[in-house]
Amino acid sequence: MQAVKRRGWRRALDGGLVLLVPAIVLETLVLFLPLVHVAYRSLYDWQPGSVSTFIGFQNYQHLLADPEFWQVIGNQLFYLLGLPLWVIAPLVVAFALREGVWRPGLFRSIYFLPAVMSPAIVGLVFRTLLATDGPVNAALETSGLGFLAHPWLTDVTYVKPVVIFLVLWASFGTGVLIFSAAFAAVPQNIFEAARLDGARFWSEFWHIAVPSVRGTVFLWAMFQLVCIFLFMFGWIYVLTGGGPGLSSATMDFFIYQQFMRFGFYGTAAAQSIALVGAIVLFPALGYGARALIETCVKRRRT
């Protein structure tokens, strides 16, 4: 009976393809076809406005032999070291905000502020703040902590950790928001039961809270993983210009430089395909790791 009814509304409301067509057409024109075109042109010595010659995989061969490319890949891998920080910091704070805090909503709003602000504009502010003769170092000097003053953005050893902390600053509030929603969906009595058993904050956090929202934790980690490959351009362009040298450049910044500044379209196309590969590969590794951990945990239990 139910099935007949269901099929009834499905048939009655069939069609209406006209509603979907604009979305398909726009995404095809702006996203899919250009991606295919980039893949195709990565096999050419691509010279827009003039003759492009087919060169097979030479762009890729150049790429693999290019130390700058590997340096940028190395930067991306270094940034991934920030992943535990980007996940655990908002997770702990969202957990702590659950109770015993005055006006948790206000704090969530404040932490969420960076989500609406342009990375490029905020990068401008931090570039000034962290300049060698800037306010942060000046404040450190005047408060007798001068030994902590560093050339934050112009020194190869400091620039990447600084970027990791700025990514934390930018994504923290969104993470707190998402984890708060996840905690709100967990039945509260399991926390109460744990507290009756005498669980303290950290043991409650690790043994009850984290396992109960592990799906969200994993998704947030994957989201951050993709973001560090996809959405860093504004930050890097303004904050460091990729420098010093290329020591803070991300893939998207590197590719932009190749085609907009140097006019190397073929190389930029090959690099774009490498970037697409990274975006497929790393989340796939993440899913693989999760499957592995889950089977291990199950095996230990049985």
Partner 1 sequence: MKAGSMSKFRTGIMALISLAFILPLLFLIGTAIRTRQDYMMSPGGLPRSFTLDNIVGAWTQAGLGQALVVSLIVAVIACIVCASTALAGAFWFRIHQGRVARGLNVLLVASYAIPMVAWLIPVFVMLANARLLNNIVVAGIIAGVASLPFAIYLIHTFFRQALTTELLEAAALDGARVLKVFWYIAVPMSRPALASVVALVFVWTFGDLLMAATLLQGNPQVYTLTLAATTLSTREEVNLQGQAAAALVSLIPVLLVFMVAQRSLAAGFGAGSGK
Range 31-70, binding partner 1 (CB under 8 A): 31-35, 37-38, 41, 48-49
Length of the chain: 302
Binders in 114-143 for partner 1, by CB under 8 A = 114-122, 124-129, 133-139, 142
Binders in 243-262 for partner 1, by CB under 8 A = 251-252, 255-256, 259-260
Smallest distance from the beta carbon of 299 to partner 1, in angstroms? 28
Tokens 């020194």 locate to 155
Tokens 């993440």 locate to 286
Among 86, 152, 237, 240, binds partner 1 (CB under 8 A): 237
Q: Which is nearer to partner 1, 88 or 230 (CB)?
A: 230
Examine residue 97 and tell whether it contacts partner 1 (CB under 8 A): yes
Examine residue 1 and tell whether it contacts partner 1 (CB under 8 A): no
Smallest distance from the beta carbon of 21 to partner 1, in angstroms? 9
Among 173, 183, 248, 249, binds partner 1 (CB under 8 A): 173
Examine residue 26 and tell whether it contacts partner 1 (CB under 8 A): yes
Number of residues binding to partner 1, judged by CB under 8 A: 102
Q: Cα–Cα–Cα angle for 280, 169, 274, nearest 5°?
A: 20
Q: Which is nearer to partner 1, 248 or 272 (CB)?
A: 272
Among 69, 86, 191, 220, binds partner 1 (CB under 8 A): 220
Among 210, 233, 286, 290, binds partner 1 (CB under 8 A): 233
Examine residue 226 and tell whether it contacts partner 1 (CB under 8 A): yes
Interface segment toward partner 1; rule CB under 8 A; list 66-74, 75-83, 271-279, 284-292:
271-279
